[in-house]
Chains A and B, each alone.
Chain A
Amino acid sequence: QLQLQESGPGLVKPSETLSLTCTVSGGSISSSSYYWGWIRLPPGKGLEWIGNIYYSGSTYYSPSLKSRVTISVDTSKNQFSLKLNSVTAADTAVYYCARAPDGDSYYSWFDPWGQGTLVSVSS
Chain B
Amino acid sequence: QSALTQPASVSGSPGQSITISCTGTSSDVGDYTYVSWYQQHPGEAPKLLIYDVTNRPSGVSNRFSGSKSGNTASLTISGLQAEDEADYYCGSYRSDSTVVFGGGTKLTVL
Contact = CB atoms under 8 A, between A and B. Distances in A.
A binds B: yes
A48 B100 CA distance: 7
Contacts of B104: 45-47
Given A49-B100, A63-B96, A105 B48 contact: no
Interface stretch (B10-18, B68-76, B86-94): B86-94
A106 B101 contact: no
A62 B45 contact: no
Contacts of A48: 3, 101
Interface stretch (A8-16, A18-26, A77-85, A113-121): A113-121
A63 B1 contact: yes
Contacts of A63: 1, 96, 98
Interface string A93-115: 00010000000011111111111
The contact size tier of chain A is 20 to 34
Contact of A105 (B3, B34, B38, B57): B34
B7 interface: no
Interface of A: 37, 39, 45-49, 52, 60-64, 96, 105-116
26 contacts: A37-B99, A39-B46, A39-B101, A45-B103, A46-B6, A47-B46, A47-B102, A48-B3, A49-B98, A49-B99, A61-B98, A62-B1, A63-B1, A105-B51, A105-B93, A106-B93, A107-B93, A108-B32, A108-B35, A109-B34, A109-B51, A109-B52, A110-B36, A110-B91, A112-B45, A115-B45
